[in-house]
């Protein structure tokens, strides 16, 4: 799960599932989801809702990757710690892809035409 800030300043969660199937590691984009609450409880609740997609995370989740923000990676009360309380095999790995998103989104904000263009795309 990654929190993305779009050009239009909307906060989105991106969920990507990595899994082992048929002798190979697979990665599948699940969906983007609105991020209304960015606190630990709200984001942990988003993980719990994996069950609504037919994913039994408590027994099958073996890893989780987030950026280094304390709310996500906090050892005692971050999202990763709260998720691991319920899914004992869900080990935490720091995700570096968030840095790439920041690198790509921030410069575009400085170009008014690009900002307007991407804002219009998001409204579709």
3-class DSSP state of 8: coil
Which residue ranges make up each domain of the chain? 2-122
Whole-number average pLDDT of the chain = 81
pLDDT score recorded for residue 5:
52
Model confidence at 10: pLDDT above 70: no
SS (H, E, C) 18-62: EEEECCEEEEEEEEEEECCCCCHHHHHHHHHHHHHHCCCHHHHCC
Quick check: 4 and 11 in contact, CB under 8 A? yes
Q: What is the pLDDT of residues 19-69, one digit of tens each?
A: 889 999 898 888 888 888 889 999 898 888 888 888 888 888 888 888 878
Q: How confident is the model at residue 93 (pLDDT cuts 50, 70, 90)?
A: confident
Please state whether the predicted TM-score (pTM) of the whole model is above 0.85: no
């Amino acid at each position: 799960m990654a929190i993305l800030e779009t050009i239009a300043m909307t906060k989105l969660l991106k969920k990507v599932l990595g899994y082992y199937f048929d002798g190979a590691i697979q990665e599948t984009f699940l969906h983007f989801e609105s991020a209304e609450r960015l606190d630990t409880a709200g984001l942990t609740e988003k993980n719990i809702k994996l069950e609504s997609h037919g994913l039994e995370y408590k027994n099958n989740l073996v890893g989780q990757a987030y950026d280094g923000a304390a709310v996500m990676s906090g050892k005692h009360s971050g999202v990763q710690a709260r998720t691991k309380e319920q899914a004992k095999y869900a080990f935490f790995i720091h995700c570096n892809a968030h840095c790439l998103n920041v690198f790509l989104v921030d410069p575009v904000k400085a170009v008014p035409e690009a900002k307007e263009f991407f804002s219009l795309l998001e409204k579709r």
